[in-house]
């Protein structure tokens, strides 16, 4: 099914509910709990040898939902890697910005593209929630992902690129119906496009089996807590292991 047809069907499905959805979105923006980015270092050096990890993306990369970056997604991934033989992170670079979407991330590529990368660094990319809420078109999303891949491989030809899934937003505790269903269907379309891009460009995809329920969510009902990041980090670590086998 073409992107155009998918878009038409999506908007047709929610045409009658749009006034309610817009109102709910405005109320949520006004009343929702605003959590800060996590404290702590975003650059780590462990040794001269091993895998260079670079994690780029939105608020979950910035550690929103926990107090310190060591509890966040990147360092939970690094912690999980310690249990995997022959996978040794040497340098860790975290570039996460609360509220960022794909297009502005590309505009700021000079901040996360490192000219001193090793021959085969690992780029972890975590995006999609802000592109879902910002109603990024499937075409622009797909074109942006392709551009991101080209920029990374232009910097390091043999880089491993790992994309985490676009979370299923209909399961976010903070979102009421029908807003949750609307954003859930939208996030599913972006995730489907992401999977397709990964398959055709030799990138790796982290399967979306992370629990989105209150026990794993921060107080805002929108971001993971430390337990949620730990579970997610283990899945990313498994895919990093597969990428370097």
200 pLDDT exceeds 80? Answer: yes
Distance separating alpha carbons of residues 211 and 115, to the nearest angstrom: 37
Segments in the chain forming alpha helices (H): 3-14, 18-31, 73-81, 102-107, 109-112, 129-133, 138-155, 179-200, 226-243
20 within domain boundaries: no
pLDDT exceeds 70 at position 8: yes
Say if 29 falls within a structural domain. no
Domain annotation covers residue 7: no
Q: What is the CATH number of the domain that holds 201?
A: 3.40.50.1110
Assess if residue 72 is contained within a domain: yes
Counted domains in the chain: 1
Half-sphere exposure of 66 (CA within 13 A, CB side): 22
How much is the pLDDT for 50?
A: 87
Q: Look at residue 130 and tell me if it is in a domain.
A: yes
Q: How confident is the model at residue 116 (pLDDT cuts 50, 70, 90)?
A: low
pTM of the predicted structure, to 2 decimals: 0.95
Decide if 112 is inside a domain.
Answer: yes
Range of the structural domain that residue 115 is part of: 47-243
Residue 33 lies in a domain: no
């Amino acid at each position: 099914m073409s992107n155009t047809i998918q878009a038409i069907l999506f908007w047709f499905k929610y045409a009658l509910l749009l006034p309610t959805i817009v109102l709910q979105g405005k109320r949520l923006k006004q009343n929702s709990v605003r959590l800060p980015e996590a404290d702590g270092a975003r650059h780590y050096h462990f040794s001269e040898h091993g895998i260079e990890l670079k994690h780029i993306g939105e608020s979950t990369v910035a550690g929103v939902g926990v107090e310190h970056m060591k509890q966040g997604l990147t360092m939970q991934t690094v912690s999980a890697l310690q249990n995997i033989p022959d996978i040794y992170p040497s340098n860790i670079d975290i570039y996460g910005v609360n509220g960022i979407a794909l297009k502005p991330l590309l505009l700021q590529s000079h901040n996360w593209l490192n000219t001193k990368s090793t021959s085969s660094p690992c780029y972890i990319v975590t995006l999609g929630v802000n592109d879902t809420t910002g109603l990024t078109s499937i075409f622009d999303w797909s074109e942006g992902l392709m551009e991101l891949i080209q920029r990374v491989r232009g910097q390091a030809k043999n880089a491993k690129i790992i994309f985490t899934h676009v979370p299923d937003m209909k399961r976010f505790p903070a979102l009421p119906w029908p807003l949750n269903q609307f954003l859930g269907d939208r996030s599913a379309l972006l995730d489907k496009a992401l999977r397709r891009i990964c398959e055709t460009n030799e990138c790796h995809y982290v399967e979306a089996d992370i629990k989105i329920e209150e026990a794993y969510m921060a107080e805002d009902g929108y971001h993971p807590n430390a337990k949620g990041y730990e579970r997610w980090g283990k899945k990313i670590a498994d895919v990093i292991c597969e990428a370097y086998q």
